[in-house]
Chain A
């Protein structure tokens, strides 16, 4: 029932599997994702993931409600932690620094993608409250 051809495509299985898992409503970290893939990969890494192997593992993940998504208020607090002066926004440089240097760093593509939607081009800042509100509406 999925629009992905798990066995057909050879390009970057890790990324594809991550997208699939996340689109099912789970939010594993990159580290957790890595472990999960190790669980479903073939013994000899062929670059393919078999649907038959993936399905039971994924079903278990869903039933156990593992990797629950981040609630909106936690997300807001995370931004506030990075903005100790309580200005209500982060500068472009600050966001880039945190996202690409801390935690599980963003790739350049991910950073650009986030900025394109989040940034206010005139002030070069990210008003995180508005940004979160916009994303939440878009998802619903």
Chain B
């Protein structure tokens, strides 16, 4: 290519140079962009592992409650309601609607939204407009909606069957988790629900986001207006115990100081009446979590779903030797509390039924074939493509649509196109962490995906800034985890550090981190953020703890106690909430002490009792014999030395 005049030759040379230059820049940029995206992925993995580890902690908690009930008789002499909470009583039904509503007045001065029963589409608009202006729906209407919803849901079967047609597509949305802006965006882009615009909301409407109540109200009102076109599936967060840990209970008690308790009571029941899933055109199964190799849809169609009070309260087994012993112990305890022994057990599902529901609400698909216990979350299982094929074929289904897992793009297809995950809460972990998505489909056509991402600013910040933000947030969370396990970590490090050099190889360090924290993360890649390394690549393991410590609410108390309370603060919060059945925020010193003793023995925590007493005395600042446990727990927070904010944003969720 060198013929022609010299001008052409120069031109050629020039453009060849430009081509090469462009190639260099493109090549560099793609490498840089890939590294940015990988950092984003790491951050998401951190968030996700910690979230799942928390869920596992939640399941441990349910074991603790069983343990507590078997061993802690005297609290319940004073509080028989506590027993009802665990064994489920049907006294809720006998509570007359008027008992609640008759006593509540909506004052004339109330300028929030007012609903008119029977509800119509106007009420949906009224609510949306009101919530856009951050108004709060009066407790009276909340309760009316909940009562009405329960009444309608009771008539519905465990699985909703619905049909689509080419002219009537259905929209499937995943987890919303109280993110009201995402719901508004979906309705804006996709239209409000109506007879010609049906929706399936696949669980996890609440917890974590700030507007769980508003999201729930919009969904329930829409359901009441269009009960045959707006379908709701139960998610693992439609559960009063999950709400206690992940924020919805707190939100309700905060927004509804007077009537919050009533709302919580009826809500607990409404959850149990939510359908387990939706089946579209007899082909597509829509459920919140997933399946297991033993999933029996026929059984699931038959069970009494409302007996599943909380997915975290496993039924006390009524067959088997060890089980009988447990039953007798518990039975004695129950008898002591003046309840009939056969009563509570008929209020439960059998163990097998209970497991079937857990699997539906908690399982995750994975690439590996087979079915394995879901060790990250502690409940449900991991199911492979072979399981999907087997179950879909067994019931002549074509596809499984599920939610439950946050995906960077808002949706993900796996198992050879047979499983779709759809997640509708954008920016779930952090601003910029992920997109949200919804699906539109009708029989015979391929599903269409719509993605979005809520952003507070008018234009999106550049990618590197967003990634920096998520990354620092994730690392921060991880560091807080580390500090809450400081003693165990140091012990593990020292075990490997034979010559007491204060150093470990990268491999040794990573091994201990993974073992103690129980988080499956790419430790070597993250090490630069977490620990100092020398030029030989060895880690100085104590360096991780230098720039961060837990604030000591009381100087004289030992670090190990502080660390333990900090580590279990979410669990303690829930335990307190359960004991504090009148939701006063206070428990007596005596209750506090006995509960702590039990907690200690069940969780095998080695703390001197006198230390704890000392702490408790201090926390009862006005010396009236009761402790405000929210204040108590708030006092334990992590200080990041080099942060501008000295108090970390320790969301309990």
Listed in ascending order, the chain A residues whose CB lies under 8 Å from chain B are 1-11, 18-23, 26-30, 69-70, 74-75, 77-79, 81-82, 98-99, 102-106, 110, 113-114, 116-117, 135, 138-139
Which one of B34-42, B269-277, B331-339 contacts A?
B34-42
Let me know if A10 and B28 touch, CB within 8 A: no
26 A-B pairs (CB sep. < 8 Å):
A3-B522, A4-B41, A7-B368, A8-B365, A8-B366, A11-B413, A19-B38, A20-B34, A22-B30, A22-B33, A23-B34, A27-B28, A29-B23, A30-B26, A74-B24, A78-B21, A81-B20, A82-B18, A98-B25, A102-B18, A102-B23, A103-B26, A104-B26, A110-B30, A113-B463, A117-B462
Let me know if A82 and B21 touch, CB within 8 A: yes
Let me know if A75 and B25 touch, CB within 8 A: yes
Cα(A12)–Cα(B226), bound, Å: 39
Let me know if B412 and A11 touch, CB within 8 A: yes
B367 in the interface (beta carbon within 8 A): yes
By a CB distance below 8 angstroms, the chain B residues around A103 are: 19-20, 22-23, 25-26
Cα(A55)–Cα(B525), bound, Å: 17
Let me know if A70 and B24 touch, CB within 8 A: yes
Known: A1-B522, A9-B414. A23 touches B38 (CB 8 A): yes
By a CB distance below 8 angstroms, the chain B residues around A81 are: 17-18, 20-21
Cα(A23)–Cα(B34), bound, Å: 6
The contact size tier of chain B is: 35 or more
By a CB distance below 8 angstroms, the chain B residues around A2 are: 522
By a CB distance below 8 angstroms, the chain A residues around B413 are: 10-11
By a CB distance below 8 angstroms, the chain B residues around A138 are: 464, 468
B44 in the interface (beta carbon within 8 A): yes
B32 in the interface (beta carbon within 8 A): yes
Q: Which of A11, A82, A102, A105 has the most CB of B within 10 A?
A: A102
Let me know if B524 and A1 touch, CB within 8 A: yes
**B25, B37, B463: which contacts A116 (Cβ < 8 A)?**
B463
By a CB distance below 8 angstroms, the chain B residues around A116 are: 460-463
By a CB distance below 8 angstroms, the chain B residues around A8 are: 365-367, 414
User: Chain B, 228-251, contact with A by CB distance < 8 Å: what is the 0/1 string?
Assistant: 000000000000000000000000
By a CB distance below 8 angstroms, the chain A residues around B416 are: 10
Known: A9-B414, A98-B18. A18 touches B45 (CB 8 A): no
Let me know if B21 and A70 touch, CB within 8 A: no
Listed in ascending order, the chain B residues whose CB lies under 8 Å from chain A are 17-35, 37-38, 41-42, 44-45, 365-368, 409, 412-414, 416-417, 460-465, 468, 522, 524-525
**B26, B367, B412: which contacts A99 (Cβ < 8 A)?**
B26
Cα(A78)–Cα(B18), bound, Å: 8
Cα(A60)–Cα(B414), bound, Å: 30
Nearest chain B CB to A19 CB, angstrom units: 4
Known: A5-B367, A8-B366, A82-B21. A106 touches B41 (CB 8 A): no
Cα(A18)–Cα(B32), bound, Å: 12
Let me know if B34 and A18 touch, CB within 8 A: yes
**B28, B33, B409, B462: which contacts A110 (Cβ < 8 A)?**
B33
By a CB distance below 8 angstroms, the chain B residues around A105 are: 26
By a CB distance below 8 angstroms, the chain B residues around A139 are: 32, 35
Cα(A1)–Cα(B522), bound, Å: 5
**A1, A11, A69, A117: which contacts B28 (Cβ < 8 A)?**
A69
Considering the complex, give the chain B residue whose CB is closest to the CB of A121: B459
Known: A2-B522, A3-B42. A99 touches B417 (CB 8 A): no
Let me know if B26 and A22 touch, CB within 8 A: no
By a CB distance below 8 angstroms, the chain A residues around B20 are: 78, 81, 103
Let me know if B463 and A22 touch, CB within 8 A: no
Give 5 A-B pairs besides A23-B38, A70-B31 with Cβ atoms closer than 8 angstroms. Answer: A10-B413, A20-B38, A81-B17, A104-B26, A105-B26
Considering the complex, give the chain B residue whose CB is closest to the CB of A109: B33
Cα(A8)–Cα(B407), bound, Å: 13
Considering the complex, give the chain A residue whose CB is closest to the CB of B461: A116
Nearest chain B CB to A130 CB, angstrom units: 14
**B21, B34, B417, B524: which contacts A22 (Cβ < 8 A)?**
B34
Let me know if A135 and B32 touch, CB within 8 A: yes
Nearest chain B CB to A15 CB, angstrom units: 9
By a CB distance below 8 angstroms, the chain B residues around A18 are: 30, 34
Nearest chain A CB to B302 CB, angstrom units: 33
Cα(A102)–Cα(B35), bound, Å: 24
**B31, B45, B463: which contacts A27 (Cβ < 8 A)?**
B31
Considering the complex, give the chain B residue whose CB is closest to the CB of A32: B27
Nearest chain A CB to B505 CB, angstrom units: 16
By a CB distance below 8 angstroms, the chain B residues around A82 are: 18, 21-22, 25
Nearest chain A CB to B412 CB, angstrom units: 6
By a CB distance below 8 angstroms, the chain A residues around B409 are: 11
Cα(A78)–Cα(B19), bound, Å: 10
Let me know if A22 and B31 touch, CB within 8 A: yes
Nearest chain B CB to A17 CB, angstrom units: 10
Let me know if A22 and B35 touch, CB within 8 A: yes
Nearest chain A CB to B582 CB, angstrom units: 45
Cα(A21)–Cα(B33), bound, Å: 12
Cα(A9)–Cα(B525), bound, Å: 22
Considering the complex, give the chain B residue whose CB is closest to the CB of A119: B462
By a CB distance below 8 angstroms, the chain A residues around B522 are: 1-3
Considering the complex, give the chain B residue whose CB is closest to the CB of A79: B25
Top 8 closest pairs, chain A to chain B, by CB: A22-B34, A8-B367, A7-B367, A103-B22, A23-B38, A117-B462, A102-B22, A81-B21
By a CB distance below 8 angstroms, the chain A residues around B465 are: 117
**A20, A104, A135: which contacts B23 (Cβ < 8 A)?**
A104
